[in-house]
A = this chain, B = another copy of it.
């Protein structure tokens, strides 16, 4: 298959709720960046997190192997620092090979979970 996707993606709506209902880890309130790397070569990702009231933080480095998908939980990012809960953020994802990125949140703060998903915005 030919190379598919883009090298820079943006997610403007980031927010990890601070509490949850239901069995973990499936029903833990979380946000994910689902990345598809349909190429033969590994994708080396670099994530930058933007906040409303302080300097951006990053890069967070993640590898998505060739011909694989990885559903990255923002909750699990640790290096250089965790993303605080109940805090507005946004994210830019840069990759050395073209990938496709979709953004999803599961919000289980109430008894019944709510879901959102949208393709991230392809910059180039």
Contact = CB atoms under 8 A, between A and B. Distances in A.
A100 to B, nearest CB: 4
A70 interface: yes
Interface string A69-113: 111000000000000001011101010000011111101011111
Given A10-B5, A12-B36, A68-B51, A116 B116 contact: yes
A26 B86 CA distance: 9
Given A4-B123, A117-B117, A118-B119, A50 B22 contact: no
A20 interface: no
A11 interface: yes
Nearest to A56: B67
B67 A50 contact: yes
Contacts of A122: 121
B110 A110 contact: no
11 contacts: A4-B10, A10-B38, A12-B35, A14-B34, A36-B50, A52-B69, A53-B68, A69-B89, A71-B88, A107-B113, A119-B119
A10 B22 contact: no
A57 to B, nearest CB: 11
B121 A100 contact: yes
